[in-house]
Amino acid sequence: MEADIIKRDLIIVGAGPAGLTAGLYVARAKLDVLLLEKLAPGGQVLLTDMVENYPGFPEGISGFELIDRIKQQAEKFGLEILANEVTSLSLSPEKKLVTTSNRQYMAKAIILACGAFARKLGIEGEELLTGKGVSYCATCDGPFYRNLDVAVIGGGDTAVQEAIFLAKFANRVYLIHRRDKLRATKILQDRAMAEKKIEFIWDTVPVRIIGEESVEAVELRNVRTDNLFQLPVQGVFVFIGYTPNSNIVKNILCLDKNGFIETDNDMQTSEPGVFAAGDIRSKLLRQISTAVGEGATAAFAAERYLDSL
Ligand code: NAP
> What does the pLDDT look like over 234-255, one tens digit per residue?
999 999 999 999 999 999 999 9
50 phi and psi, to 5 degrees?
-135, 125
Atom 31 in ligand 1: residue holding the nearest Cα: 286
Query: 167-206: b or e for each residue (b if 16 or more CB lie within 10 Å)?
Result: bebbebbbbbbeeeebebeeebbebbeebebbebbbebbb
Q: Quote the ligand 1 centre to 295 CA distance (angstroms).
A: 23
Half-sphere exposure of 276 (CA within 13 A, CB side): 24
Q: Which of 9, 137, 203, 266 is catalytic?
A: 137
CA distance 26 to 153: 40
For residues 34 and 2, the model is more confident at 34
| Confidence category of residue 299, pLDDT binned at 50, 70, 90 | very high
pLDDT of residue 50: 82
Domain boundaries, the chain: 2-117+242-308, 120-238
Task: Answer whether residue 305 shows pLDDT above 80.
Answer: yes
Mean pLDDT within 140-156: 95
Q: Please name the CATH architecture into which domain 2-117+242-308 falls.
A: 3-Layer(bba) Sandwich (3.50)
Residue 232 clears pLDDT 60, i.e. is over it? yes
CA angle in degrees (0–180, nearest 5) for 288-293-296: 125
pLDDT in tens, 169-189: 999 999 999 999 999 999 999
Establish whether 140 is a catalytic residue: yes
pLDDT of residue 192: 98
- For the chain, counts of helices (H) and of strands (E): 6, 17
Tell me, what's the pLDDT at 3? 55
First-to-final CA distance of the chain: 25
What's the pLDDT tens digit per position in 174-231? Answer: 999 999 999 999 999 999 999 999 999 999 999 999 999 999 999 999 999 999 999 9
Alpha helices (runs of H) in the chain, residue ranges in sequence order: 17-28, 63-76, 138-141, 157-166, 186-194, 288-308
**SS3 sequence, 151-181?**
EEECCCHHHHHHHHHHCCCCCEEEEECCCCC
pLDDT of residue 44: 80
Instruction: Please choose, from the candidates 283, 292, 288, the residue with its C-alpha nearest in 3D space to the C-alpha of residue 48.
Output: 288
49, pLDDT greater than 80: no
The active-site residue, picked from 140, 180, 256, 264, is: 140
Indicate whether 139 pLDDT > 60. Answer: yes
Active site residue 256: no
The per-residue pLDDT of the chain, averaged, comes to 95
Question: In terms of DSSP bridges, do strands 149-153 and 172-176 run parallel, antiparallel, or are they unpaired?
Answer: parallel
Calculate mean pLDDT across residues 111-115: 97
Instruction: Give catalytic status of residue 114 as yes or no.
Output: no
User: Which residues form the pocket of ligand 1, taking CB atoms under 6 Å from any ligand atom?
Assistant: 53, 121, 153-159, 161, 178-179, 183, 205, 239-242, 285-287
Mean pLDDT of 21-35: 98
- Find how far residue 285's CA is from the centre of its chain: 13
Quick one: fold of 120-238?
A: FAD/NAD(P)-binding domain (3.50.50)
Ligand 1 atom with the smallest distance to the CA of 240 is 7
Same fold, 2-117+242-308 and 120-238: yes
Closest approach atom of ligand 1 to CA 241: 23
Report, as an integer, the average pLDDT of 135-147: 91
Residue 94: the pLDDT is: 81
Q: Are 199 and 228 in contact (CB under 8 A)?
A: no
List 49, 141, 149, 279, catalytic entry:
141
